[in-house]
Amino acid sequence: MHGGPPAGVWAAPGRVNLIGEHTDTSEGLVLPLALPHTTLAAASARGDGLLRLDSADAPGGVVELRVADLAPGAVAGWAAYPAGVLWAMRAAGLPVGGASLHFTSVVPTGAGLSSSAALEVATASALNDLYGLGLAAERIAGLAQRAENDFVGVPCGIMDQMASACCTAGHALYLDTRSLAHRHVPLDLAAHGLRLLVIDTRVTHALGDGAYANRRAACERAARELGVPTLRDVPYAALESALTTLAALADGPALCRRVRHVVTENHRVDEVIALLDAGAVRAIGPLLTAGHASLRDDFEVSCPELDLAVTTANASGALGARMTGGGFGGSAISLVPEAAADAITTAVTEAFAAAAHLPPRIFSATPAPGAHRLPIDPATPA
Ligand code: GLA
């Protein structure tokens, strides 16, 4: 497709989130880590004003678009993500033109592991280098989020794109999604005799289906009722008085549940960070499980398969477990003692079989690096 070797190959990872779920749409705190699973973009600049896209993972062949014609709503399917990135860069006034991008990915799609962000960030990283833009990783994440919000039409927060662009190997990313200030928090689970299991329920979720937008809108409405810019501005100590204010509204009970989740979840992120900073990794387990209960009961974004993964892991020796990502399917994570990992994997697999669910896909996650250009010269034969 390039008429020659690509100019380079860029990689961007998927992620899991350790804690801080459904807080980024309220400018809250999150703690994701990058997965070793990446999306690769083999890419070259083009001088003919065309964007030529194809993916080893998507049927349908090459998608060819005129850069000058890119507009929200003009591109459907997977190609909207990379096309949206190029559109967002040009809308920001950046001097970017045509490109050929060939993708291949091992980030599971629809599994709550940020395959969309990986695709966007791989595209943005490639265009950044091909056109010599010199953008910082935070800026790449912001452009990728703009592509998803305004071109694809999914009102996601910025956690996934920041994780894919900014994470470093061996660390989780403690991120304030309001200021984008972040700190790389060491997470050497093996040194503590632990593992982080990812349990992909294989219930496919789609953030574009309305429930995500509905939760975000409820949080924005609650903030308006409370007279604050976002729910980030409701301190943990002020939660009860906020709930009293909201309870009087017609839809008060539902709004109270949403607010209680966001405010307590921000607090849990701070508690987890304090424990990690103190080297008390095992002690974060109950906070993960409390986060799951809050997502299930208050934010109402879990599903039976995620609940079963969490309860089974915890009943089989896990230190804690929770859904991760947007929910309504996708994946759970579980912090487990190394010695119990196999037994927990078996127990979850058997519980899914007994409930007649699809067999889950279970793997261990170690914190991997964020987006980068591969140190290879594609023009040189191996
Ligand atoms: C999805 C969104 C993120 C975040 C999570 C929930 O992954 O893309 O911005 O809102 O859901 O924490």
Please state the three-class secondary structure of 266-298 as a single string. HHHHHHHHHHHHCCCHHHHHHHHHHHHHHHHHC
Phi, psi at residue 75, to the nearest 5°?
-125, 135
Cα(113) to ligand 1 centroid in Å equals 10
Question: Of ligand 1's atoms, which has the minimum distance to the CA of residue 326?
Answer: 11
The mean pLDDT of the chain is 96
Q: What is the pLDDT of residue 69?
A: 97
**Active-site amino acid positions:** 160
Question: Of ligand 1's atoms, which has the minimum distance to the CA of residue 157?
Answer: 9
Q: What is the pLDDT of residue 3?
A: 62
Separation of alpha carbons 142 and 138, rounded Å: 6
**Each residue's pLDDT tens digit, 310-362:** 999 999 999 999 999 999 999 999 999 999 999 999 999 999 999 999 999 99
Cα(109) to ligand 1 centroid in Å equals 14
**Each residue's pLDDT tens digit, 141-192:** 999 999 999 999 999 999 999 999 999 999 999 999 999 999 999 999 999 9
Q: What is the pLDDT of residue 334?
A: 98
DSSP state letters, 302-316: --HHHHHHHHHHHHT
304-315 helix and 285-297 helix, angle to the nearest 10 degrees: 150
Does 160 contact ligand 1 (Cβ within 6 A)?
A: yes
- Average pLDDT of span 206-221: 88
Does 159 contact ligand 1 (Cβ within 6 A)?
A: yes
Q: Which of 15, 19, 22 to mutate to test the pocket of ligand 1 (most atoms within 8 A of CB)?
A: 22
Q: What is the pLDDT of residue 381?
A: 57
Q: How confident is the model at residue 206 (pLDDT cuts 50, 70, 90)?
A: low
pLDDT at residue 79 tops 70:
yes
- Element of type H or E holding 254: helix 252-277
Q: What is the pLDDT of residue 379?
A: 67
- Average pLDDT of span 116-139: 98
**Domain 8-184's class?**
alpha beta
CB 48 within 8 A of CB 107: no
Q: What is the pLDDT of residue 377?
A: 77
Does 157 contact ligand 1 (Cβ within 6 A)?
A: yes
Question: Of ligand 1's atoms, which has the minimum distance to the CA of residue 207?
Answer: 1
Residue ID of nearest Cα to ligand 1 atom 9: 157
CB 13 within 8 A of CB 164: yes
Q: Are strands 63-66 and 50-55 parallel, antiparallel or unpaired?
A: antiparallel
pLDDT at residue 380 tops 70:
no
Q: What is the pLDDT of residue 208?
A: 57
Those residues whose C-beta lies under 8 Å from the C-beta of residue 381, and which sit 6 or more positions away, are: none
DSSP category for residue 22: T
Cα(112) to ligand 1 centroid in Å equals 9
Q: How confident is the model at residue 222 (pLDDT cuts 50, 70, 90)?
A: very high
The pLDDT > 90 percentage for the chain reads: 94
pLDDT at residue 2 tops 50:
no
Cα(153) to ligand 1 centroid in Å equals 14
